[in-house]
Structure 1
Amino acid sequence: MVFTFKGQLDAFSEKQFKTFVTNNLKNDLPFVIDLTKIDFLDSSGLGALVQTAKECKKSKLGFTVVGNSRVAQTIKLVRLGDFLNLKSSLEDALNYLKN
């Protein structure tokens, strides 16, 4: 499954993001969080991504994150690239989940 988000992932949208992702974790299917259309990512958004990663790891559920250059730079700046399974393209993310 691929979840594509657009706009901003910040303190105002974080709750909606977490609710949506948490509801879809019940499907027990590996998924991609596609942030290539996100204009802005702040610490609240990063926190939501970290929480999602923790839930996935606890449930042994495969996931990965794809971001545009701005989002990827923010994630790498705080050294969360490996933890969030950050990939540079949707194709890379889907290949990652196949393995």
Structure 2
Amino acid sequence: MEFETVRQGDILRINVLAERIDAACAIQFKDRMRELCGTEPARVVLDLQQVDFLDSSGLGAVVAAMKLLGKDRRLELAGLSSKVSKVFRLTRMDSVFTIHNSADAAMNSNASAA
């Protein structure tokens, strides 16, 4: 699973360069997120624009990444496709995460929900 990262001030943007986050790659996803996020920054924006499929294992991996950041840091999501957005709505995880329409909108916001 490939990622691309961009740093802007105290925000780390992580672009997921894969079409799927599922059982086959969930562990790899969590491991890479741990490596990329380290102990900083305060905000991490996960750009899921290229992700077209997310199953329960993938959702669990995203939640695990949020927990990895701890209480003092935030994981925000951006660019959810309609299929991925539906998973977050059906599981009510859309009330747990700040979700932005796009990564650019997230990077230019003060962490307000979109």
- What is the TM-score normalised by the length of structure 2? 0.75
SS in 2 for 1:36: coil
Give a deviation string over 1:66-99, Cα, whole Å, max 9, x none: 112221111111100121222222233221448x
Q: Distance in 2 between matches of 1:72 and 1:21?
A: 20
Give how far 1:27 is off. Answer: 4.5
Report the RMSD for the aligned CA atoms in angstroms.
Answer: 1.8
Contact between 1:53 and 1:83, CA under 8 Å: does it hold in 2? no
Identity of aligned residues (%): 27
| 1:4 paired residue number | 15
Candidates 72, 88, 95, aligned match of 1:60: 72
Candidates 67, 70, 89, aligned match of 2:83: 70
Unaligned runs of 5+ residues in structure 1 are: none
Give a deviation string over 1:18-47, Cα, whole Å, max 9, x none: 011011221501211111111210000000
- What is the TM-score normalised by the length of structure 1? 0.85
Aligned residues, how many?
97
Which range moved further: 20-29 or 85-94? 85-94
Contact between 2:23 and 2:57, CA under 8 Å: does it hold in 1? yes
Candidates 57, 73, 95, aligned match of 1:82: 95
Equivalent residue runs for 1:14-93 within 5 Å: 14-29=26-41, 30-56=43-69, 58-66=70-78, 67-93=80-106
Give how far 1:13 is off. Answer: 1.0
